[in-house]
Structure 1
Amino acid sequence: MELSLENLNKAAANNGLIIGILSAVFGIIIFYVAPALFGSMWFGIANMIFFLVVYIFFTIDLRKKVGGYWNFRQALKGIFLMAFVAVIVGAVVNYVFYKFVEPDAFSKISGYIEEGMTKTFENMGMDADAADAEVAKAVERMQAQFDPTPLQMVQNLAIGIGVAFVMSLIFAAIFKKEPPIFAPVEDDID
C-alpha cells in the first residue's frame, strides 16, 4: 500500500520507532553477550556502518511508502522526523535500562573501555602519559552516556539531534527524487 505525502509524518515516525528500538535492543544484547566489545574501536566503526545501512534502508523504504517521489524539502522533513524519533526512543530506552535495570553497567564495562582505548593509543605510538590522560577523558565521556546527570542527558540528546539533522540533510540531498516532468510514452502498435 502506497501512502501519499500527507502521511509522510506517520510513516517517518513508525520507521524512526523501529530504528530506535532496534538500536536500543542491539546495545542491550551487546551489553549482556559481549560487553568487551564496548572497548573495541573496530566494533564502534562496525556499529556505525551497520546503522548507516539501517538508516539507508529505512530512508528508501520511507520514499517508497510515499509514492517513490519527493523533493528535497519533503525528503528532509521525513528523514529528519524518522531520525529524531529514533534518537529520542533510543535515548529514553537506554536511560531507563542503564538507570533502573542495570545501574552499575558503567562499572562493569569501564575496564573494557580503558583496556581497549589504551591498546589503541599504544598502537598509534602515543606517549604513555598522554595516552592515560586521553583514556581518562574518554572514560569520562562514556560515563556521561551510561550514567548521565540530567544536564548530560540534555546535552546527549542535543548532540544526537544535531547529528541526526546533519545526516538528514545529507540523506535528503542523496535520496530526493523528483517525479518525471513528462509521462513516459507508450507506443501501442497493433
Structure 2
Amino acid sequence: MTDSINPSNAGFDAVIDKKKSIIYGIILGIISFILGLVVLFVVKDLNSFWGVMSMSFIVNTGIFVIISALFSFSLRKANGGYWSFSIALKSIFMMLAISTIISTIGTQVYVNFVNPALQEKVVTHTINVTIEYMEKNNVPDEVIDSKIAELEKQVEAIGKITLGQIFKGLAITLLFQFVFALLLSALSKREKPVLVQPTK
C-alpha cells in the first residue's frame, strides 16, 4: 500500500523564527515611517482634493499591505514553505507589532521635535483644499463650517499630544494589526503533510 497523509499532524514541526520576524518588523517599520513622511511632504503641496484625501490610503495603506504580505510569505518560505495558522499568526503579528511601534515612535519624534511645522502645514493646506472643493461643488455653508471647525481642532491639537494619547493610538493600531495578521495568516497558512506508514 502507498503511504497516506495524516493532516492532523501537518506542520507539527514548524517553529517561530523570532529573529526573522524581528528583522522584517524593523525593516517594515522603517519603510512605514518613510512612507508616512513621503505622504506628509507630498500632501502639503497637492492642489487636488481627491489627491489629498487618497494619498495616505494609497501610500500608507496600499503599499504597506503589499509589503507586509510579501514579508509574510517570505517568513513562511524561511520555515521550509510550511507553517500552521498558529505559527503564522504569532510570526506575522510579531513583525507587524514591531513595525507599528517603530513607525509610530519615529513619526511622533519627527513631527513633534525635528520638524514641528510640517504637520501644521499639511493640516492647513488640507483645510484650504477642502474649502475650495466644497465651494466649487456648492456644498451648503453649514456643512463647510462644520468641516472647517473639525479641521481647525486638528490644528489646535498639533504639538499638544500627550503620551497617553500616543499609547492609546498605538493600542488601537495594534488591534487593527492583529486583525490584519489574522487575515495574512489565513492566506499564507500551508500545513506540512506528514507521511504515515499504514498499519499492517
Output the TM-score relative to the length of structure 2.
0.75
Deviation readout 1:71-123 (Å, 9 max, x if unpaired)? 11111101100100010000111111112101222222112221344466668
- Equivalent pairs counted in the alignment come to 180
- Please say if 1:156 is aligned against 2:160: no
Partner in structure 2 of residue 28 of structure 1: 37
Distance in 1, matches of 2:183 and 2:177, equals: 10
Partner in structure 2 of residue 175 of structure 1: 188
Amino acid at match of 1:150: L
- Tell me the percent identity: 27
- Please say if 1:86 is aligned against 2:99: yes
Q: Which has the higher helix share?
A: 1
RMSD (Å), alpha carbons: 3.0
Distance in 1, matches of 2:45 and 2:172, equals: 25
Contact 2:123 2:154 in 1 (8 A): no
Amino acid at match of 2:184: F
Amino acid at match of 1:65: A
Distance in 2, matches of 1:113 and 1:12, equals: 37
Partner in structure 2 of residue 43 of structure 1: 55
Equivalent of 1:75, from 71, 75, 88?
88
- Please say if 1:12 is aligned against 2:21: yes
The 1:105/1:63 distance shift into structure 2, 3 A limit, reads same
Q: Structure 1 stretch 118-127 or stretch 50-59: which is displaced more?
A: 118-127
The 1:36/1:69 distance shift into structure 2, 3 A limit, reads same
Distance in 1, matches of 2:136 and 2:188, equals: 39
Contact 2:120 2:158 in 1 (8 A): no
Unaligned runs of 5+ in 2: 1-12
Cα drift, residue 63 of structure 1: 1.1
Any residues of structure 2 matched to 1:113-132 within 5 Å, and which? 113-118=126-131, 127-132=140-145
Whose relative contact order is higher, 1 or 2, with alpha carbons under 8 Å and at least 6 apart? 2
Output the TM-score relative to the length of structure 1.
0.79
